[in-house]
Chains A and B, each alone.
Chain A
Amino acid sequence: LAKTTQPISMDSYEGQEVNITCSHNNIATNDYITWYQQFPSQGPRFIIQGYKTKVTNEVASLFIPADRKSSTLSLPRVSLSDTAVYYCLVGDQSGNTPLVFGKGTRLSVIA
């Protein structure tokens, strides 16, 4: 499974847009890019997944350049409740493949 590199931590004020970039230089052709969110003492929660270009859902947007060696999770107008750890994962993400978590990015949203 491809390794990922993310910033260890980020701070943001409420109402701002937050962009978290993840590097995955060794991503394979069949790999998808998935982002999870984890609050303290809770299991990870799926946020968004993409393969290329841009994906948007009600929570976030995911931007993936043509070479797919990186991706950016965009959280619009964050609130205090978005304070969490965000994990970027790459892999075929089939139901039979375990997920390999990196260190994640600890986002702190400040009032």
Chain B
Amino acid sequence: GAVVSQHPSRVICKSGTSVKIECRSLDFQATTMFWYRQFPKQSLMLMATSNEGSKATYEQGVEKDKFLINHASLTLSTLTVTSAHPEDSSFYICSWGPPRQETQYFGPGTRLLVL
């Protein structure tokens, strides 16, 4: 299967600081990718859909000014959590949807802990 990487795998930060999470597709290119977050014992929740070269589309309840998405290329996207607060502590997962594929490929996730 296709390989997706995320960096960092885990991060601890102080409240009020910003954290950047990178998501890369290593062996394929795709225009569209997605960011999800997952709280403990819960399912994945879609945060935003991002197309390379366009502004991301955010789900209801997800603040676009707080969760900045930069979809720089067909293989790289970043999610920046600005002015992080403890309630932003979660597991952030990206996925890519290669064209002509009937599945999506997920990254390994990034565990964010805001103190």
Contacts and interface: CB of A to CB of B under 8 A. Distances in A.
Nearest to A46: B103
- Interface of chain A, helix or strand or loop or mixed? loop
Interface of A: 32, 34, 36, 41-46, 49, 87, 93-104
Contacts, number: 64
A101 B43 contact: yes
A46 B105 contact: yes
Interface of B: 1, 4, 6, 30-32, 34, 36, 43-46, 49, 91, 93, 95-109, 111
A104 B41 CA distance: 11
Nearest to B41: A106
A99 B34 contact: yes
A95 B109 contact: no
B43 A87 contact: yes
A46 B100 CA distance: 16
B106 A44 contact: yes
Contacts of A43: 4, 6, 93, 95, 106-109
Given A41-B109, A43-B109, A45-B106, A96 B97 contact: yes
